[in-house]
């Protein structure tokens, strides 16, 4: 078994440990931050961490009502820009805590008046030492180059912090998350049986919208880095604005479709893809969306829409790991990649 698959399967326990360890700290941090009159949240990350930050953006804006910007580190590292960050919260995200450009942004943001938070898997990292508050995932060492348990850990951290900043609305029960992820892992056999169909796939599209938009980005990244598949990622809405033209008979298309606010748009897309006779795989907990294609990964209909991305990415991770194996590739050692990437 690959390290990637091992770490995918470790996720329920890793998430449970993180909830137990960090809940109190995040609640206290939320109380402190709500007293600072935050006007802006800036998220800074690269790679899978940047995909988790995309989920964080949707969460903070829909839950806390605070505008969010996904930082471009080059603004600081290449162009030496001086930003005014009073009343801003800047959150750096890095599994290792050693991303040099991420840490430069955090240092500059702190000197520009921002309150800084780091989300990392390494408590002794450079990031953890330089931020005002470090939130540490309890995932254990991640050895596979392809991030899996740290990605879901980062999404969990974002959801817990967004909840701590929430002013009103229905509270979230995070204790269900590990069980939801365990339920998603039950799709393993179905996905293993599905991937042989895609052994010769060299390009595809991955689609999601809203709170699962980040899943489209992350599954596409996993297919690119472990299976060497050219995978484009789109929101359901954007896909209708031009990219739909690339779809023809048997074109592989993967759709993240949790029940909720995005259902109507997803249904319209699935109807169009069926008309085009695309080769569509849909990951959904909505019975109404399972009839559009024979290739469906069915998840629980009881998963909270606000937390769905944490569970829904699991079939995408499994698909990439099994497809890499079916292609005769080692997902733990993608060519040209290392676990810690240092850029400025």
CA–CA gap between residue 65 and residue 140 (Å, rounded): 33
Better-predicted residue by pLDDT, 8 or 334: 8
Kindly report, residue by residue over 124-147, the tens digit of the pLDDT.
999 999 999 999 999 998 899 899
Q: Judge whether 341 lies within some domain.
A: no
**pLDDT of 340 higher than 70:** no
CB 317 within 8 A of CB 8: yes
Domain range holding 113? 3-171
User: What angle, 0 to 180 degrees and rounded to 10, lies between the N-to-C axes of helices 308-326 and 149-165?
Assistant: 170
Better-predicted residue by pLDDT, 82 or 222: 222
Burial of 40 (0-12, 13-18, 19+ CB in 10 A): middle
Q: Judge whether 336 lies within some domain.
A: no
Q: Which helix (H) or strand (E) holds 116?
A: strand 115-120
* Mean pLDDT calculated for residue range 311-336: 93
Q: Do both 10 and 135 map to the same domain?
A: yes
* Mean pLDDT calculated for residue range 47-69: 96
Model confidence band, residue 332 (pLDDT cutoffs 50, 70, 90): confident
**pLDDT of 344 higher than 70:** no
Better-predicted residue by pLDDT, 245 or 127: 127
**pLDDT of 162 higher than 70:** yes
Domain boundary among 171, 206, 223: 171
Q: Do both 220 and 300 map to the same domain?
A: yes
Q: Do both 61 and 94 map to the same domain?
A: yes
C-alpha closest to that of 120 among 145, 91, 94, 144: 94
Kindly report, residue by residue over 71-101, the tens digit of the pLDDT.
988 998 889 888 999 999 999 999 999 999 9
CA–CA gap between residue 238 and residue 206 (Å, rounded): 12
Q: Do both 69 and 118 map to the same domain?
A: yes
């Amino acid at each position: 078994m690959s390290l990637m698959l091992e770490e995918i399967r470790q996720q329920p326990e890793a998430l449970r440990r993180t909830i137990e360890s960090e809940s109190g700290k995040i609640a206290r941090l939320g109380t402190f931050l709500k007293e600072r009159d935050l006007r802006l949240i800036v998220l800074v990350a690269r790679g899978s961490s940047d995909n988790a930050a995309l989920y964080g953006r949707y969460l903070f804006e829909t839950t806390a009502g605070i505008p969010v910007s996904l930082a471009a580190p080059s603004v600081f590292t290449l162009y030496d820009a001086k930003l005014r960050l009073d009343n801003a919260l800047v959150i750096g995200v890095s599994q290792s805590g050693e991303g040099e450009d991420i840490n430069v942004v955090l240092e500059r943001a702190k000197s520009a008046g921002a309150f800084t938070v780091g989300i990392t898997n390494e408590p002794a990292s450079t990031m953890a030492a330089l931020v005002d508050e470090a939130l540490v995932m309890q995932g254990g060492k991640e050895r596979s180059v392809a991030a899996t348990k740290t990605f879901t850990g980062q999404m969990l951290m974002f959801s817990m912090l967004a909840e701590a900043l929430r002013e009103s609305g229905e509270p979230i029960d995070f204790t269900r998350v590990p069980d939801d992820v365990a339920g998603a892992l039950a799709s393993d056999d179905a996905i293993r049986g599905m991937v042989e169909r895609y052994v010769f796939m060299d390009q595809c599209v991955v689609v999601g919208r809203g709170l699962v938009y980040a899943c489209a980005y992350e599954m596409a990244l996993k297919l690119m880095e472990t299976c060497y598949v050219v995978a484009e990622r789109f929101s359901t809405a954007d896909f209708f604005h031009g990219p739909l033209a690339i779809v023809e008979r048997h074109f592989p298309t993967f759709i993240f479709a949790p029940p909720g606010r995005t259902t109507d748009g997803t249904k319209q897309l699935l109807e169009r893809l069926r008309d085009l006779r695309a080769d569509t795989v849909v990951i959904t907990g909505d019975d109404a969306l399972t009839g559009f294609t024979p290739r469906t990964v069915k998840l629980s209909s009881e998963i909270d829409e606000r937390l769905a991305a944490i569970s829904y990415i699991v079939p995408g991770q499994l698909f990439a790991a099994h497809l890499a194996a079916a292609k005769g590739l080692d997902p733990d050692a993608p060519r040209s990649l290392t676990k810690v990437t240092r850029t400025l």
